[in-house]
Amino acid sequence: MNKQEAILEYTLRIADDSLLLGHRISEWCGHGPILEEDIALTNIALDLIGQATNFFDYAAKVQGEGKTCDDLAFLRLEREYKNVLLVEQKNGHFGDTIARQFFFDVFRKLFFESLSKSTDQDLAAIAEKSLKETRYHLKHSSEWIIRLGDGTQESHDKIQGSVDYLWKFTDELFFMDQVDELLIKENIAVDLTALKANWKSYISEIFQEATLNIPTNGWQQAGGRKGLHSEHMGYALAELQYMQRAYPNMQW
């Protein structure tokens, strides 16, 4: 693997995380628990899809095959998507969506803070731009975690259930392989092991306020970064890709 291939793979991982989570959140449009939250979720979905667009544009440039961000977003096969399993999980109820978002937002904020110092100017610039949005996403999901956890007995039990269920997908956020190793040497990629302690301490802090427990079950699920996805991925892609598959090169 050369440097160009590593940057392409690295950029697609970030873009796919944003795309799939943005797609999932967009499924809430018109179904939010209240009007205000419906708009909040739609804003977040748009932010994530905007981030994905920027990263896909850059990936297409690095790839140098004349492809567009739409080609990368809509016309790859399931195993070519490198997002973590966490972001493709179904929305479930509002608590499930918030727990998934919270785990991701905490990671993303730390990640973009570091990536904005990358020696790769494009990645650094997109990270810098995305960081402002991500800070708000984190504020939004953190406050919901606190309110649901420290709310009624029912909301507490539901959000603790969501946390317990999704916990097994969180280790994969810190997945690293030779792609990362190669780029860390060039100060392009972020060393994710360095983020993990901060990730966990922020979560502990919010959970304490929310009267929630960090799950003790140590078993973790992974595969997304290698293109091995959960059963939900195919359905998500079917909906996401339908228009470009049915009407190739369509634009609006």
Contact residues for other proteins, defined by CB under 8 A: 34-37, 39-40, 43, 136, 139-140, 143, 147
State which residue, 139 or 185, has the beta carbon closest to other proteins. 139
Upper half-sphere CA count for residue 39 (Cβ side, 13 Å):
2
The single residue listed with the structure tokens 């205000």 is 36
State which residue, 141 or 160, has the beta carbon closest to other proteins. 141
The CB density around residue 22, as the number of other CB atoms within 10 Å, is 21
State which residue, 45 or 237, has the beta carbon closest to other proteins. 45
> What is the closest distance, in whole angstroms, from the C-beta atom of residue 41 to other proteins in the complex?
9
Q: For the chain, how many residues are written? A: 252
> What is the closest distance, in whole angstroms, from the C-beta atom of residue 69 to other proteins in the complex?
24
Alpha-carbon span 220 to 210, nearest angstrom: 24
State which residue, 36 or 231, has the beta carbon closest to other proteins. 36
> What is the closest distance, in whole angstroms, from the C-beta atom of residue 70 to other proteins in the complex?
25
> What is the closest distance, in whole angstroms, from the C-beta atom of residue 155 to other proteins in the complex?
11
Q: Cα 18 from chain centroid?
A: 5
Three-state SS for 65-107 is CCCCHHHHHHCCCHHHCCCCHHHHCCCCCHHHHHHHHHHHHHH
> What is the closest distance, in whole angstroms, from the C-beta atom of residue 90 to other proteins in the complex?
23
State which residue, 147 or 200, has the beta carbon closest to other proteins. 147
> What is the closest distance, in whole angstroms, from the C-beta atom of residue 42 to other proteins in the complex?
8
State which residue, 69 or 148, has the beta carbon closest to other proteins. 148
Six token digits for residue 166: 């999704």
Three-state SS for 184-230 is HHCCCCCCCHHHHHHHHHHHHHHHHHHCCCCCCCCCCCCCHHHCCCC
The single residue listed with the structure tokens 């544009």 is 57
Alpha-carbon span 118 to 110, nearest angstrom: 13
